[in-house]
């Protein structure tokens, strides 16, 4: 992304939580991965009265997410330097338009101070007692959000009467996870969704400027997803790669290959809540899904 003047996008300020884990660890060197999720503000956003309207952001507060990997190099007993790379995404998930969001691939450099005595004892993994966790998990969740379709003054694809319309997005997911250990899971499932934006796509073709321009069934679809989770206590980082099997194809329908990235927080052993970014082209957000779900462990399952 090329920004001619530093003030064009404002000055983003993010507040986020993060999880970080070691892939490999020695006394003087660590190979790490991390994920962050939070909120970002301070950006300039859409103002049609501005001489050069900014259509990158449409809301004063946006979702901030980041994935990265890097090294930790010990400089002295308590001090580490941490170079790495990161992919940052900032958007509102198309809850308000016009907005394109931002994806930035960049570098990371930080310092870490570890107070007190850091103990690094080498242990044989075979000697460690593995947590007794079920190997099979059935889970499902229901997500809901609203979405607007993109518009701007120089793009007359959509009738002006539809600018700012909110469309309902719903999905119900049912899947299976195979638990590798207490941290990692992989699985697959089916996603049944309702896409309210199909109505405006029909309005463009037929000239019927109304939200219910098409039958209910033409807003429904089915996807298949491969999933993976990285769990840390009650918090899980959730990822999914999906393909839309069945849907009514419309003008400007998003690609069939979809992605999900989000977090889940388990309120107890069965009930969880979460937030997912549903995307396409590995870069563009389609919806920001708030969800609630349930999981169970088949009786007699292997441990």
Choose between 8 and 36: higher pLDDT: 36
SS3 state at 38 = strand
Pair 169, 196: CB distance under 8 Å: yes
Degrees, nearest 5: CA angle 92-107-84: 110
SS3 state at 101 = coil
Q: Are residues 144 and 283 in the same domain?
A: yes
Q: Which of 45-49, 79-83, 89-93, 218-222 has the lowest mean pLDDT?
A: 45-49
Q: Are residues 214 and 106 in the same domain?
A: no
Q: Does 12 score more than 90 pLDDT?
A: no
pLDDT for the residue numbered 257: 94
Closest C-alpha among 257, 246, 37, 240 to residue 139: 240
Q: Is residue 39 part of a domain?
A: yes
Q: Does 52 score more than 50 pLDDT?
A: yes
Q: What is the mean pLDDT of the chain?
A: 82
Q: Does 230 score more than 60 pLDDT?
A: yes
Domain boundary among 122, 143, 161: 122
- Domain of residue 285, residue span: 133-296
Choose between 285 and 246: higher pLDDT: 246
Choose between 166 and 247: higher pLDDT: 247
Q: Does 8 score more than 80 pLDDT?
A: no
Q: Is residue 50 part of a domain?
A: yes
Q: Is residue 303 part of a domain?
A: no
Give the Å distances, CA to CA, from 195 to 14, 57, 127, 171, 175: 30, 23, 51, 9, 21
Q: Is residue 271 part of a domain?
A: yes
Q: Is residue 2 part of a domain?
A: no
Q: Are residues 205 and 260 in the same domain?
A: yes
Pair 213, 199: CB distance under 8 Å: yes
Q: Which two tokens stand for residue 249?
A: 């194809």
Confidence of residue 67 (pLDDT cuts 50, 70, 90): confident
Confidence of residue 98 (pLDDT cuts 50, 70, 90): confident
Q: Are residues 80 and 216 in the same domain?
A: no
Q: Is residue 5 part of a domain?
A: no
Confidence of residue 95 (pLDDT cuts 50, 70, 90): confident
Note the residue count of the chain: 303
Choose between 136 and 205: higher pLDDT: 136
Q: How many CA atoms lie within 13 A of 63 on its CB side?
A: 25
What does the DSSP 8-state code read for residue 118? P
Q: Residue written as tokens 């850091």?
A: 118
pLDDT for the residue numbered 81: 95
Q: Which two tokens stand for residue 1?
A: 């992304």
Q: Does 153 score more than 50 pLDDT?
A: no
Q: Are residues 111 and 259 in the same domain?
A: no
Percent of the chain at pLDDT > 70 equals 79
Per-residue pLDDT averaged across 90-100, rounded? 79
Kindly tell me the number of DSSP H helices and DSSP E strands found in the chain.
1, 13
Domain boundary among 62, 93, 122: 122
Confidence of residue 18 (pLDDT cuts 50, 70, 90): confident
Closest C-alpha among 253, 256, 183 to residue 223: 256
Closest C-alpha among 227, 299, 301, 300 to residue 264: 227
| pLDDT tens-digit series, residues 237-256 | 889 999 999 998 876 788 89
Q: Are residues 99 and 155 in the same domain?
A: no
Question: What is the DSSP pairing of strand 102-113 with strand 167-179?
Answer: unpaired
Q: Distance (Å, rounded) from C-alpha 292 to C-alpha 141? A: 5
Q: What is the CATH number of the domain that holds 149?
A: 2.40.160.20
Q: Are residues 196 and 111 in the same domain?
A: no
Confidence of residue 150 (pLDDT cuts 50, 70, 90): low
Q: Are residues 234 and 266 in the same domain?
A: yes
Q: Are residues 174 and 213 in the same domain?
A: yes
Q: Is residue 90 part of a domain?
A: yes
Domain count, the chain: 2
* 217 phi and psi angles, rounded to 5 deg: -65, -20
Q: Are residues 137 and 95 in the same domain?
A: no
Choose between 221 and 262: higher pLDDT: 221
Per-residue pLDDT averaged across 118-133, rounded? 64
Per-residue pLDDT averaged across 112-119, rounded? 79
Report whether the peptide linkage leading into residue 98 is cis, meaning its omega lies within 30 degrees of zero. yes
pLDDT for the residue numbered 51: 63
pLDDT for the residue numbered 60: 85
pLDDT for the residue numbered 74: 92
Q: Are residues 114 and 30 in the same domain?
A: yes
Chain centroid to CA 174: 18
Q: Are residues 14 and 80 in the same domain?
A: yes
Domain boundary among 102, 122, 142: 122
Q: Does 152 score more than 60 pLDDT?
A: no
What does the DSSP 8-state code read for residue 28? S
pLDDT for the residue numbered 248: 86
pLDDT for the residue numbered 181: 81
pLDDT for the residue numbered 245: 96
What does the DSSP 8-state code read for residue 202? H
């Amino acid at each position: 992304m090329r920004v001619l003047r530093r003030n064009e996008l404002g000055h983003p300020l993010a507040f986020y939580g993060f999880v970080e884990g070691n892939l490999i660890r020695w006394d003087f060197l660590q190979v790490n991965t991390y994920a962050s999720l939070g909120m970002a503000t301070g950006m300039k956003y859409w103002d049609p009265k501005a001489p050069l309207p900014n259509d990158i952001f449409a809301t004063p507060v946006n979702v901030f997410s980041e994935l990265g990997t890097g090294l930790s190099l010990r400089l002295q007993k308590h001090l580490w330097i941490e170079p790495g790379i990161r992919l940052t995404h900032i958007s509102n998930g198309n809850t308000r338009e016009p907005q394109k969001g931002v994806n930035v691939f960049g570098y990371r450099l930080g310092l870490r101070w570890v107070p007190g005595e850091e103990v690094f004892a080498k242990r044989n993994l075979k000697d460690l007692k593995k947590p007794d966790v079920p190997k099979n998990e059935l889970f499902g969740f229901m997500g809901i959000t609203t979405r607007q379709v993109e518009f701007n003054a120089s793009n007359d694809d959509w009738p002006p009467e539809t600018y700012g319309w909110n469309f309902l997005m719903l999905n119900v997911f049912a899947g299976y996870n195979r638990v590798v250990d207490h941290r990692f899971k992989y699985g697959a499932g089916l996603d049944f969704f309702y896409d309210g934006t199909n109505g405006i796509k029909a309005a463009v073709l037929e000239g019927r400027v109304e939200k219910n321009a098409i039958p209910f069934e033409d807003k429904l679809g089915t996807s298949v997803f491969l999933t993976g989770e990285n769990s840390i206590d009650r918090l899980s980082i959730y990822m999914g790669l999906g393909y839309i099997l069945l849907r009514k194809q419309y003008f400007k329908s998003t690609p069939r290959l979809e992605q999900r990235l989000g977090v889940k927080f388990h309120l107890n052993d069965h009930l969880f809540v979460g937030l997912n970014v549903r995307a396409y082209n590995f870069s563009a957000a389609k919806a920001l899904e708030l969800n609630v779900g349930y999981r169970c462990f088949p009786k007699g399952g292997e441990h």
